[in-house]
Amino acid sequence: MSLATPISPARRLLFSLGSPGFQITDRIVVSMAIYFYLPPPGRGLEPLVREDAYLGVLTVFGLAMLVGRIFDTFTDPLVGFASDRSRSPWGRRRSFLIYGFVPMVAIPVLLFFPPGAAGSTLNAVWLVVLLSLYFIVFTVYVGPYLALIPEIAWNQAERVRLAQWMSFASIPVLGLLSAWGLGLDVGRDLGLTATESMRWLVVGLSVLAVGLCFAPILAIDESRHVRGGPADLDFRTALSMTLRDRPFMIYLLAQVFFVIGINLIQPVLPYLATVALGRSEGFTVYFTGAMGAGIALGFLLQRPLIDRYRPKRVMMGCIAVMALAVSLLGALDPDVPGGPRDLHNLTLCFLALGLFGVPAAGFLVLPQVLISQLIDRDEQSSGASRSAMYFGVQGLLTKWAYGVATLILTLLLSRWGNSPDEPWGVVLVGPVAAVCSVVALVLYAFYPESQVIASVTGGEDDAESNAS
């Protein structure tokens, strides 16, 4: 079924604003909250939960994140199944956006107002409960939102264009989020404590997220703009069909390791500034500038590379560059400003993060294009649009990957150190992320993109195999 009415540029822009909206809430939870609960010494914050590891690997924060993921385990496919079958007059995707966006934005704010004393059990329970609730409502909004992408953009060119619009909308917000440490410096100048500064930052970002997350609800009228109808499969059959899709499972396993790698790097930026370089959290604004330059270069290269080499190969190239970039962080030798190793450390950080920005442009676009190939293939065979189930199963495993990344990061910081005197937990993050990237690269090599595309078009496509 084709689209009755293609979305206009104005509606495409409004839809794209949802992406930075939900990413704000995600960055608050996976980056800012870790720093708030497990800060390095001497930064005006105190650890709000115990820092020691249980069973050798589980910190309190890592355990809270893991428990949250366990509660969320079945939410993604259930929400996907319910959205695929929904016949709500508000729209089978749009209705979930309406239900989910307010609690998704509100819960991260509450994380920064724990009820107990530093290191208390009450704070640990607070973390577990709020993280569990957050991951559930995040799925309620994000799963159906992503499911709309292949339904309102119906070929590769349109999907690349829509994903790029989402990226362009996200980049300024992601830059702001990467430089959130600057807000602590501004707060100190205004006489605020570090705790007060972080709370004001989170509240301000969340207010922005409310408006951004509401924009797609205004943008899409599913009766006019969405192709495909509700699926009639029962849950077990729908889930089984998705899990038996071998190309999808190859893609998904590659994504899991890629997600672990990239989510080790994003939260570590303020630690690089304070622990490795001996500067304030506000120094991360310069990291953001380096990554922004790399992202701009990546976007210039993106379209011609995709047209020539196809999304899979470009994604593999991006992961290879990412592995190289983050591995450079393992050569850091922490020092103070003006010290004998300071220039060495500054050069490595800016080279690594600038290089990291080049493939980051691809990461913002290519996964949406690749999974849309698989959804088209399934729709060709099933006759129904089951995009939310595909995104739901992807969400199930990638959210576990987020949890594993947090578990690894908090373990590194707790066991090998997150202070200038014991900095090696921070230094090790880059090499560990590089190993995860290499595993993802190997798995992506087995994704049969040519066969997936040929099954939709009905033609043979030997370009990939001939070039391999």
pLDDT tens digits, 67-89 = 777 777 778 888 888 888 888 88
The arithmetic mean of pLDDT across residues 156-183, rounded, is 81
CATH of the structural domain 9-467, one choice from 1.10.540.10, 3.30.565.10, 1.20.1250.20, 1.10.510.10:
1.20.1250.20
- Per-residue pLDDT tens digits for 321-344: 999 999 999 999 999 999 999 999
Residue 55 is predicted with a pLDDT of 55
Domain ranges of the chain: 9-467
- Per-residue pLDDT tens digits for 191-248: 888 888 889 999 999 999 999 999 999 988 887 767 666 667 778 888 888 888 999 9
Mention every residue, 6+ apart, whose C-beta is less than 8 A from residue 50.
Answer: 59, 60, 119, 124
- Which structure tokens are listed for 273? 């500034």
**Are 22 and 145 a contacting pair, CB within 8 Å?**
yes
* Alpha carbon distance 34, 407 (integer Å): 11
C-alpha dihedral sign at 34, 38, 43, 44: positive
Residue 54 is predicted with a pLDDT of 59
* Alpha carbon distance 51, 255 (integer Å): 30
Whether residue 468 has pLDDT greater than 50: no
Whether residue 181 has pLDDT greater than 70: yes
Residue 458 is predicted with a pLDDT of 66
Provide the 8-state DSSP code for 273: I
* Alpha carbon distance 343, 396 (integer Å): 42
Residue 462 is predicted with a pLDDT of 39
